[in-house]
Amino acid sequence: MNGNGVHGKTTLNGKTLSGTGVNGKGVHGNGIHHVSVNGSLYPTKAKSRRQRWEVKPSEMANNTLNPIRAIVDGMKITPNPDKPMIALSIGDPTVFGNLPTDDAVLQAMKDAIDSQKYNGYAPSVGYLKSRQAVANFYSCPEAPLEAEDVILTSGCSQAIDLAISVLCNPGDNILVPCPGFSLYKTLAVSMGIKVKLYNLLPEKSWEIDLQHMESLIDERTSCLIITNPSNPCGSVFSKEHLQKILKVASRHCVPILADEIYTDMVSCSCPSMASLSSDVPILSCGGLAKRWLVPGWRLGWIQIHDRNDIFGSQIRQGLVKLTQRILGACTIVQGALEGILNNTRQSFYNDTISFLKSNSEICFNELSTIPGLNPVMPSGAMYLMVGIDMDHFPNFKNDVDFTERLVTEQSVFCLPASAFEYPNFFRIVVTVPGEMMVEACVRIREFCQCHYRPRSRDSNDLDQ
């Protein structure tokens, strides 16, 4: 076809045709005709004009749901006006200003800004120098790292997003801890990936129910997510338990996404999964947010551990391609990264861990003596989970009702564990100032004493 579209005429096999097409049906009868626009030909489909506005959100948008927001936004939170609010619900260590980052971290940022070297675009995977700094900081003989094994991201959340995206297709399933960080499900479901929840055992300091986890694996399981240390549990898995997890993954040839953002906020030994793996390929996700107490700086990373080349080049190339969708990590923070990792004082890390351990012990010891509550002592991260014996609190329907009334009466806000799909528990963040932690425990005790009711059998026992 050599038509020029002038005056609505088209040339076909050397003949000039008038109108919109052959036999009134368009050229070749395919319903396509040519319209002249400024002397050019543009194919358009007949009757393609919409009759009215109808703009709908995408399926991904409709399928995206944050369980925490869904629950918290629906709660009737009206604090007691006679008591100042104590928020133990937000996983942000900067909220109360009592946990500032180290001076060396701030100086590294100032130097990066003053250099004016980091105001432009960086490679989508991050500056080579910054990736090498992460590799040097975390490399060990059991799990060596090079710069090419590190991808910098906009916070650990983007690292998790990229890891899930590169390993999973719609219709696949991933295994996620319960209780566990809600973002895993938020991301997966939005992408058409099924989430299977494996149980953690509070009576065993939140170890994984390995038999249950293994029973969930099938041919469409594309990823096993392990969170260690845990949000929301504050648990830290032993070396022996991690090795058992790796055996399950190895037996079924399932790669691991290791969420290790809290790996250095522990009061005990916490080996990385990669350092224990002989064959299971691992994408380890971390970042500056927690250990360096700067969650708003949005600098995270993926460490690719694949000593047997199971991922090969395809997973690595896939991650690179995914980073090119959005040029992620902040360049200023990337410029400061080497200084942050190399110059932060060890005493800063020690002081942070010491504070979190002290607050956890205060909270655990106080709540352990309150009838109807069953706290589980954490060993890491910055959280403590508390079980509620709902039979002793008949005034409340569930953990959401319980925590809602705790705000109303005592102005203490704890996050109901239904947000983590684990009802009849609540999560406490232990980053608040020490005196505030004590005051919160006093108010929780007063609240429970007011609403606690013995079971009928307990009443009979008391009468005897």
In DSSP notation, 122-159 reads: --TT--HHHHHHHHHHH-BTTB---GGGEEEESHHHHH
- Are 172 and 255 spatial neighbours (Cβ–Cβ below 8 Å)? no
Q: Which residue bears the tokens 């705790």?
A: 406
Is the previous residue joined to 232 through a cis bond, with omega within 30 degrees of 0?
Answer: yes
pLDDT at 76: 77
Q: Which residues of the chain have pLDDT under 70?
A: 1-48, 456-464
pLDDT at 43: 63
54 Cβ neighbours under 8 A, 6+ residues apart: none
pLDDT at 69: 80
Q: Which residue bears the tokens 């037996």?
A: 251
DSSP 7-55: GG-EEETTEEE-SSSGGGS-GGGSSEEEEEETTEEEEEETT---SS---
CATH 3.90.1150.10 placement within the chain = 61-97+346-451
CA diameter of the chain:
110
pLDDT at 11: 47
What pTM was computed for the model?
Answer: 0.87
pLDDT at 459: 47
- Are 71 and 64 spatial neighbours (Cβ–Cβ below 8 Å)? no
Write down the CATH number for the domain with range 61-97+346-451.
3.90.1150.10
CATH 3.40.640.10 placement within the chain = 106-343
pLDDT at 22: 42
The CA-based angle 72-74-78, given to 5 degrees, is 80
DSSP 455: -
Q: Which residue bears the tokens 């936004």?
A: 73
CATH class of 106-343: alpha beta
Token code pair at residue 325: 């969708």
Integer-rounded Cα radius of gyration of the chain: 28
Q: Which residue bears the tokens 């040519």?
A: 34
Residue 155 to residue 162: CA distance in whole angstroms: 11
Single out the residue of 103, 88, 102 nearest to residue 382, CA to CA: 88
Residue 28 to residue 459: CA distance in whole angstroms: 89
pLDDT at 42: 63
pLDDT at 461: 46
pLDDT at 458: 53
DSSP 275: G
Residue 225 to residue 180: CA distance in whole angstroms: 10
Phi then psi dihedrals of residue 26, to 5 deg: 90, 160
pLDDT at 463: 42
pLDDT at 50: 81
- H or E segment and range at residue 355: helix 346-368
DSSP 98: S
| C-alpha to C-alpha distances, 209 to 175, 276, 283, nearest whole angstrom | 12, 20, 22
